[in-house]
Amino acid sequence: MSMTPTSRQFQRAVLAMLIGALAVTAACTRTKRENRLLFGGHYFPVKAKPVDKKVSLANFTVTVDKASQSPDDAREAGRHGGTVYCIGNYGTSEIEWSLGPDSDPAQLRIVDDKLTFSGTCQRP
């Protein structure tokens, strides 16, 4: 038996590495797209994060990018982003919004095409 790999074994190894590289690349792409929400026919990149994770994960902000496409749909994308954040961290969708999707539209500001909400996840 020969200990040197045959060209067929080499081809299989290269193919396996390529498939692995494609899978990793696809996973990275999918992760970036998971942050986009479709509301009213528009995609909104949404990011929810804690205000200060060293203090508490309950207080958070949600930023909705490309909000000028449709401010009303951006509000709903922000509501969804906050709900997903609270369910993921506290197991509940209950949120006390300090500035949220139901706030008076005059209070909401779109800065650099981003709409930002802030709220607190309520414990179940």
Are residue 73 and residue 25 in the same domain, yes or no?
Answer: no
Are residue 23 and residue 44 in the same domain, yes or no?
Answer: no
Q: What is the pLDDT of residues 18-68, one digit of tens each?
A: 555 555 444 443 345 556 778 889 999 999 999 999 999 999 999 999 999
Are residue 54 and residue 113 in the same domain, yes or no?
Answer: yes
Are residue 60 and residue 101 in the same domain, yes or no?
Answer: yes
Spatial separation of the C-alpha atoms in residues 49 and 58, rounded to whole Å? 10
Mean pLDDT of the chain: 83
Q: How many domains does the chain have?
A: 2
Are residue 39 and residue 60 in the same domain, yes or no?
Answer: yes
Are residue 67 and residue 77 in the same domain, yes or no?
Answer: yes
- Answer for the pair 90, 58: CB distance below 8 angstroms, yes or no: yes
What range does the domain containing 63 cover? Answer: 35-121
CB under 8 Å to 57, separation ≥6 — which residues?
50, 89, 90, 121
